[in-house]
Structure 1
Amino acid sequence: MELVTVAAAVLVVGGILGLVIPVLPGLLLTIAGVLLWAGDRNDATGWTVFVVCLLIAAAGWTIQYLVPSRRMRAAGVPTTTLLFGAVCAVVGFFVIPVVGLFVGFVLGVYLAEQLRLRDASRAWTATKTALRGVLLSIGIELAAACLVACVWVAGLLITR
């Protein structure tokens, strides 16, 4: 197996793992792996596979932001709450190893909603809604990355 193909595979797998363990820009890494492979091949099949993968990624990124944000807006969770949750997630990542990202996000969203609503029950409901939205967003991106990987593997099999 060619070294470039192995490097591309590492990027694709690393991208998918980066979505399961949200530290790496997962879908971007999978696209980078396919681009590396297509650039090395530099033929019509390689570039066709790359364009199809890029379209899948673009659709995934679009859906990833449209669907969860629409649901959170409908539930009344403001963007500022999500931003505060994201900041707390970053802080949590450095303060609590392994689980700090998740703990920080949940705590940040809950605190922001508690301050905004002054009602623990409604704040917790909003926190659960935000958490479901984030999980849905990650799921959409993961599905797109897995589809990109499948198209790339199909391209590999076609060109062998």
Structure 2
Amino acid sequence: MNSVGDLLVGLVVLVGLFGVIVQVLPGGLLVAGAIVVWGVVTGGAAGWTVVAITVVVTVLAGIGKYLLAGRHLKRAGVPSSTLIWGGIAGVVGFFAIPVVGLFVGFVLGIYLAEWLRSREARPAWRATVAALQATGLTILVELAAALVSTGAWLTALALT
């Protein structure tokens, strides 16, 4: 791949890393997709090694983040229905309030769903905090995978 192609891949990787943190874009998939395209086009041992590392790390992170978040939420006693309501409220918030609506809607949806279920503020707040912690865990796992993939790509890029 030429320098312009490497630069484009680098820009997509940078946008993907930003997307992992902000959670508006499918950041991990953007990073993986750009690096896999680079690896396939570049070919050779370096290219295909980076493709293998990226695919394995991204798949493991995709599975791991849901297992970790699910286990955390189960330990906190947050039912799946509460997360569904939080997700729906997050989508509504995304369109109702620019920039921060997804976050605000998700938090309010979790809190209201749990408050309606328990009719108490304290358990509703604990469930909301647990859901936010689980979200943070998923972001960290996805970010770690994206950074490992990016590191493998940068190493291969320096070697080729």
5 Å-filtered alignment, 1:37-48, equals 37-48=38-49
1:146 Cα deviation after fit: 1.2
Contact 1:15 1:27 in 2 (8 A): yes
- CA deviation string 1:106-145 (max 9, x = no partner): 0000011011111111111111111111111111111111
1:11 and 2:1 are equivalent in the alignment? no
Name the structure 1 match of 2:151. Answer: 150
1:130 aligns with 2:131: yes
For residues 147 and 52 of structure 1, the distance between their equivalents in structure 2, rounded to whole angstroms, comes to 8
- Checking the alignment, whether the CA contact within 8 Å between 1:49 and 1:151 is kept in structure 2 is yes
Question: Which amino acid in the other structure matches residue 84 of structure 2?
Answer: L
Alignment of 1:76 with 2:77, yes or no, is yes
- Equivalent residues in 2 for 1:19-58 (5 A)? 19-58=20-59
1:35-83 superposed Cα distances (whole Å, 9 cap, x missing partner): 1111211222201111011111112112111111101011110111111
For 1:130, the aligned partner's letter is: A
Aligned AA (1:53): T
SS class of match (1:107): helix
Asked whether the equivalents of residues 64 and 137 of structure 1 are also in contact (C-alpha less than 8 Å), the reply is yes
Aligned partner of 2:96 in structure 1 is: 95
Aligned partner letter, 1:60: A
- Contact 2:40–2:51 (Cα < 8 Å) also in 1: no
1:4: how far off?
A: 1.9
Q: 2:66: which partner in 1?
A: 65
Aligned partners of 2:63 and 2:154: how far apart in 1?
Answer: 24
In structure 2, distance between residues paired with 1:145 and 1:23: 15
Does the 8 Å contact 1:84/1:112 carry over to 2?
yes
In the alignment, the residues of structure 1 paired with residue 155 and residue 74 of structure 2 have an alpha-carbon distance, to the nearest angstrom, of: 39
Runs of 4+ in 1 over 2 A off after TM superposition: none
Following the alignment from structure 1 to structure 2, what is the Cα–Cα distance between the partners of residues 137 and 145?
Answer: 12
* Aligned mates of 1:135, 1:41 — CA distance in 2: 35
CA distance in 2, matches of 1:39, 1:153: 15
- Over the residues paired in the alignment, what is the CA RMSD in angstroms? 1.1
Sequence identity, in percent?
42
Q: Which runs of 5+ in 2 are unaligned?
A: none
